[in-house]
Amino acid sequence: MSIAKKELLINGSIREKEVRTIDSDGSQLGVLPTRQALSMAYDKDMDLVMISPGAQPPVCKIMDYGKYRFEQSKRDKEAKKKQKVIENKEVRMGLNIDTHDLETKVGQATKFLSAGNKVKVSIRFRGRELAHKNLGFELMERFTALCEEVGTIDKPPKMEGRSLVAFFSAKAAK
Q: pLDDT per residue over 18-33, tens digit each?
A: 888 888 888 888 888 8
* Rounded Cα distance, 26 and 107, in Å: 58
Kindly compute the dihedral angle of the four CA atoms of residues 85, 91, 92, 95, in this order, to the nearest 10 degrees: -140
Report whether 92 contacts 58 (CB < 8 A).
Answer: no
Cis bond before residue 53 (omega within 30° of 0): no
Domain with CATH 3.10.20.80 in the chain: 11-82
Q: Which residues pair with 165 in a beta bridge?
A: 122, 158
Lowest mean pLDDT, pick from 55-59, 65-69, 170-174:
170-174
The pLDDT assigned to 80 comes to 85
* Rounded Cα distance, 109 and 87, in Å: 13
Class of domain 11-82 (CATH, top level): alpha beta
Conformational region of residue 51, where left means phi above 0, alpha means psi within -120 to 50, and beta covers everything else: alpha
**CATH superfamily to which 88-170 belongs:** Translation initiation factor 3 (IF-3), C-terminal domain (3.30.110.10)
Q: Taking all residues of the chain, what is their mean pLDDT, rounded to a whole number?
A: 86
Q: Looking at the chain, how many residues does it have?
A: 174
Q: CA separation (Å) from 17 to 28, 31, 57, 141? A: 18, 10, 9, 70
Q: Give yes or no for residue 55 having a pLDDT over 70.
A: yes
Q: Give yes or no for residue 1 having a pLDDT over 50.
A: no
Specify the higher pLDDT residue, 52 or 158: 158
Domain with CATH 3.30.110.10 in the chain: 88-170
Q: Which amino acid is at 28?
A: Q
pLDDT level of residue 110 (50, 70, 90 thresholds): very high
